A and B are shown apart, each in its own frame.
Chain A
């Protein structure tokens, strides 16, 4: 007899049909792969979508034909980003509880709780006492109120172990006491999670510093749907073209890269830069002006190509030799590094956090001093002036973690947790309320 398939509920803060972002895309890809590959687990994706003014409820994905993808609508303005929960008198929690009762998942795997609230963890625990709860940490939002970037607001330097008083310095309007409470609230909900997944060792270390029990957090890199090496047919040429892929935000360090290019222009370097990035117009005006001015200064060696579609990536990668990841924040497990490796492109990146972890200096890429244009310029010069170096680094690029392997690892984890959960539950029961 075949054992009944167990059910996994993925909870995500967005669906690619309504919002583009790395974590949303990953969640959907994970869901689709598990749905196609697994006979042990049946996944359901519950993705948040904004419904201004509306009551929380579920809905179909508008252009989808997959019944296992469900939208969870709620009013994003009711969500308190600081506290990490909706201030709606429990409406989201109630609607979510209904979903849980209806679907009865064996595992609830949170990809994100933004717009939904950390308190949904507690809702799972009390509604489905024997369900296993897994939480993937995609960035540092629980630790850092500055968009989860762990970059100080006042000087844009990275911050490693923030305490409440450090956070209060970044946000003068919020007291250290409120930050302490924010941490306590989040941790009290996290206490009910059975296992956390960190896509990088660096991120895991940050959360262990912050207070998560090391035994409850494992490192498991995000999988890529197709992990095969994409062979690009490019004629032999000198390797002096750099590519930047990503959003033009201050955190991503596009300005650092452009400053380096300005230095290289002055030196008459052969280096060329192609920028594939968008959303400059959404940035603060000071940053926008700065980037525009830098683009003008470097017009001889830099071109701005704007945004791109996923399917264009092989062609764009073919046109560059190096991928530069100059972020000034720690990053976690940047997708762009996986993509560069998949296309056989070595990476030049900041020497901090998840970037330094995923790219090994001198093996499959080069490190430079984070936030330092001069260091980056020197590194680029070294990269393009030593032709043997490029081939050597390309040879050092590892195979990318495939989504299939990733799914298999997750399913093993789910099984382990479900069994452990059964053991814990002997004797626990719900008490009577008021008398």
Chain B
């Protein structure tokens, strides 16, 4: 057997050999079997032919960029057969080595050109070829066996990189290789980019006690961008030659799902996995880009040059928004000073929101604007989009589950911002429904080389602090209610989109404001209720908390080493 590749320039028509069967892999690629070596050349067209010469037959693969019919005619192909038929009738019968050669030829197509990577049709054909011709390895996912392999999840980061995780062990071999096989047949050795950890899922306690036998893996690898999301395989090869395979589930593509799954995996053993997962999570977040606003509408008479733009991102619970809207409408200061900007993160809920909000407007006559994003973008990006739509001198970020506890809060925040020359972020004292303090500024504390934001007064009955009303300098304040000069907010880059829905976007912003020479404050005289956690899903936030703290430390650890910053002094 010999494999040869010819790139032919246009020449005369060949004659002689008979094509036994040929099928289209995509609209420019023909795979076939002939009784002798065929040649293909068309005047004026770039044609690439590949051959595998076997004992009694010759496999050919012809790529013609724009003349499939011409190519077929030159080859003497009058009728294409179904790809499955070709595979079953002519190629599956080959021995292992010959099948490997055909597979390599087909897979090569995918790696060679960008155009091929963009063809879904080709990717699907290659998956069929791969399924029909590949060598099958045994599967083993019994924890009590000698060796086992199970790929539990796989996610795409959006930039061509993938993360996969599961468990793999071989009691007879201390080291194994892990190979990811793409649906198109591409083999990617992921061994070097694999983090190993004890497979400590809560539901299999007995394996937890013997982590050495059954080990969790989390690996990261790159694949061509056009790779399919269905049909990934994982292989494990031991030094002794034993091999297993495991089918991966469908690749998670949607950013929130991908982040959630990776973060859940990280939470199994954060110390071992954080570093490995970071590039993936980072790529997922970067892949989201800036939030794009699909439309901006105004209900009622828009205020010209408002002092404050109250930006409320909306994720869930429209009834919360209603309650807050009614509070705003009843507040003379809000009516006088502020425009309300709602930013809807879920575009498919626009109609529902407009219907509801129209009723609120009819009843209370408080104008507002509504910006709808093109797609779900997460908390930070949604706020940033709102800041750009806003027109006020000051920007007040507000969760929809924050409700004013009385009058005077907005003027207090706005005046303080205007009279404090170096003011950065100004926060309010937030109370839980039971009257306990929920937020009164963050402090930053370091433990084990890790920085974390803390809420020192959280849980204290607010009446205890009744006399404590002077503005106080703090390192950071919560974005649940945060007032900042709008231009300044945009200048320092707004909220960072690097945190997958957690609680560090605001702290990160405040650190950047500090570094720009600004001071952050809590104004206890502005008191509001915060029904924490009702405005958005807690699931992602909970699993993200550890990663966000880690990421925050990575980004700012060195800077925050200066003790003053942690105390709120620039």
Interchain nearest-CB distance for B304 vs A (Å): 14
Interface 1/0 per residue, A87-130 and B, CB below 8 Å: 00010010000000000000000000000000000110110000
Q: Would A165 and B435 count as touching, CB distance under 8 A? A: yes
Q: Which of A176, A177, A431 interacts with B300 by CB under 8 Å?
A: A431
Q: Which of B319, B355, B365, B433 interacts with A180 by CB under 8 Å?
A: B433
Q: Would A184 and B435 count as touching, CB distance under 8 A? A: no
Docked Cα-Cα span, A435 to B301, in Å, equals 9
Q: Would B300 and A433 count as touching, CB distance under 8 A? A: yes
Interface 1/0 per residue, B345-377 and A, CB below 8 Å: 000000000110011011101010000000000
Closest-by-CB residue of A relative to B322 is A185
Interchain nearest-CB distance for A225 vs B (Å): 37
Is A18 on the interface with B (CB-CB < 8 A)?
Answer: no
Is A163 on the interface with B (CB-CB < 8 A)?
Answer: yes
Cβ of B531: which chain A residues have Cβ within 8 Å of it? 175, 177-178, 180-181
Cβ of A165: which chain B residues have Cβ within 8 Å of it? 433-435
Q: Which label, helix, strand, loop or mixed, suits the secondary structure of the A interface?
A: helix
**CB-CB contacts below 8 Å: A158-201 with B:** 163-165, 168, 175-181, 184-185, 188, 191
Is B7 on the interface with A (CB-CB < 8 A)?
Answer: no
Cβ of A93: which chain B residues have Cβ within 8 Å of it? 359
- Category for how many chain A residues contact B: 20 to 34
Is A2 on the interface with B (CB-CB < 8 A)?
Answer: no
Q: Which of B299, B359, B434 interacts with A90 by CB under 8 Å?
A: B359
Closest-by-CB residue of A relative to B436 is A165
Docked Cα-Cα span, A188 to B432, in Å, equals 20
Q: Would B323 and A184 count as touching, CB distance under 8 A? A: yes
Q: Would B326 and A188 count as touching, CB distance under 8 A? A: yes
Q: Which of B298, B358, B532 interacts with A177 by CB under 8 Å?
A: B532
Q: Which of A164, A191, A434, A435 interacts with B358 by CB under 8 Å?
A: A434
Is B320 on the interface with A (CB-CB < 8 A)?
Answer: yes
Closest-by-CB residue of B relative to A164 is B433
Q: Which of A83, A168, A435 interacts with B298 by CB under 8 Å?
A: A435
Q: Would A177 and B363 count as touching, CB distance under 8 A? A: no
**CB-CB contacts below 8 Å: A289-335 with B:** none
Q: Given contacts A177-B534, A181-B320, A191-B330, is CB(A431)–CB(B433) below 8 Å?
A: no
Is B265 on the interface with A (CB-CB < 8 A)?
Answer: no
Closest-by-CB residue of B relative to A175 is B433
Interchain nearest-CB distance for B109 vs A (Å): 54
Q: Would B403 and A430 count as touching, CB distance under 8 A? A: no
Is A66 on the interface with B (CB-CB < 8 A)?
Answer: no
Interface 1/0 per residue, A226-258 and B, CB below 8 Å: 000000000000000000000000000000000
Interchain nearest-CB distance for A125 vs B (Å): 7
Closest-by-CB residue of B relative to A435 is B298
Q: Would A435 and B323 count as touching, CB distance under 8 A? A: no
Q: Which of B300, B320, B365, B435 interacts with A163 by CB under 8 Å?
A: B435
Docked Cα-Cα span, A177 to B538, in Å, equals 15
Please report the total number of B residues contacting A with Cβ < 8 Å: 31
Docked Cα-Cα span, A177 to B402, in Å, equals 11
Is A424 on the interface with B (CB-CB < 8 A)?
Answer: no
Cβ of A266: which chain B residues have Cβ within 8 Å of it? none
Cβ of A185: which chain B residues have Cβ within 8 Å of it? 319, 322-323
Interface 1/0 per residue, B197-235 and A, CB below 8 Å: 000000000000000000000000000000000000000
**CB-CB contacts below 8 Å: B424-466 with A:** 432-435
Docked Cα-Cα span, A197 to B390, in Å, equals 45
Q: Would B298 and A434 count as touching, CB distance under 8 A? A: yes
Docked Cα-Cα span, A164 to B354, in Å, equals 31
Is B6 on the interface with A (CB-CB < 8 A)?
Answer: no
Cβ of B355: which chain A residues have Cβ within 8 Å of it? 90
Q: Given contacts A165-B433, A184-B403, A188-B330, is CB(A431)–CB(B363) below 8 Å?
A: no
Is A63 on the interface with B (CB-CB < 8 A)?
Answer: no
Closest-by-CB residue of B relative to A185 is B323
Q: Given contacts A164-B433, A179-B433, A188-B323, is CB(A432)–CB(B363) below 8 Å?
A: no
Q: Which label, helix, strand, loop or mixed, suits the secondary structure of the B interface?
A: mixed
Closest-by-CB residue of B relative to A176 is B433
Q: Would A180 and B330 count as touching, CB distance under 8 A? A: no
Cβ of A90: which chain B residues have Cβ within 8 Å of it? 355, 359
Cβ of B432: which chain A residues have Cβ within 8 Å of it? 176-177
Docked Cα-Cα span, A430 to B432, in Å, equals 36
Interface 1/0 per residue, A343-375 and B, CB below 8 Å: 000000000000000000000000000000000
Q: Would B367 and A431 count as touching, CB distance under 8 A? A: yes
Cβ of B401: which chain A residues have Cβ within 8 Å of it? 177
Docked Cα-Cα span, A75 to B298, in Å, equals 35
Is B486 on the interface with A (CB-CB < 8 A)?
Answer: no
Interchain nearest-CB distance for A2 vs B (Å): 36
Q: Which of B298, B301, B434, B534 interacts with A164 by CB under 8 Å?
A: B434
Interchain nearest-CB distance for B317 vs A (Å): 9
Cβ of A179: which chain B residues have Cβ within 8 Å of it? 433
Docked Cα-Cα span, A177 to B534, in Å, equals 8
Cβ of B354: which chain A residues have Cβ within 8 Å of it? 434
Q: Given contacts A180-B529, A434-B358, is CB(A126)–CB(B323) below 8 Å?
A: no
Closest-by-CB residue of A relative to B354 is A434
Closest-by-CB residue of B relative to A165 is B434
Interchain nearest-CB distance for A396 vs B (Å): 45
Cβ of B434: which chain A residues have Cβ within 8 Å of it? 163-165, 168, 176
Docked Cα-Cα span, A350 to B529, in Å, equals 38
Is B297 on the interface with A (CB-CB < 8 A)?
Answer: yes
Interchain nearest-CB distance for A78 vs B (Å): 15
Q: Would B327 and A433 count as touching, CB distance under 8 A? A: no
Q: Would A432 and B433 count as touching, CB distance under 8 A? A: no
Docked Cα-Cα span, A83 to B317, in Å, equals 13
Q: Would B297 and A434 count as touching, CB distance under 8 A? A: yes
Interchain nearest-CB distance for B461 vs A (Å): 11
Cβ of A83: which chain B residues have Cβ within 8 Å of it? 319
Docked Cα-Cα span, A378 to B361, in Å, equals 61
Interchain nearest-CB distance for A163 vs B (Å): 7
Closest-by-CB residue of B relative to A430 is B365
Docked Cα-Cα span, A191 to B330, in Å, equals 9
Q: Would B363 and A125 count as touching, CB distance under 8 A? A: yes
Most buried by A among B323, B358, B359, B434: B434
Closest-by-CB residue of A relative to B403 is A184
Closest-by-CB residue of B relative to A167 is B433
Docked Cα-Cα span, A83 to B320, in Å, equals 12
Would you mind naming 22 contact pairs between A and B with Cβ atoms under 8 Å apart?
A83-B319, A90-B355, A93-B359, A164-B433, A165-B433, A168-B433, A168-B434, A175-B433, A175-B531, A176-B432, A177-B532, A180-B433, A180-B529, A185-B319, A185-B323, A430-B362, A431-B300, A431-B301, A431-B367, A432-B300, A433-B361, A435-B298
Q: Which 5 A-B pairs have the closest CB atoms?
A: A165-B434, A177-B531, A176-B433, A180-B433, A188-B326
Q: Beyond the given A168-B434, A184-B323, could you list 15 further A-B residue pairs with CB under 8 A, ordered by the A residue number?
A: A90-B355, A90-B359, A126-B363, A168-B433, A177-B401, A181-B319, A185-B323, A188-B330, A191-B330, A431-B300, A433-B299, A433-B300, A433-B362, A434-B297, A435-B297
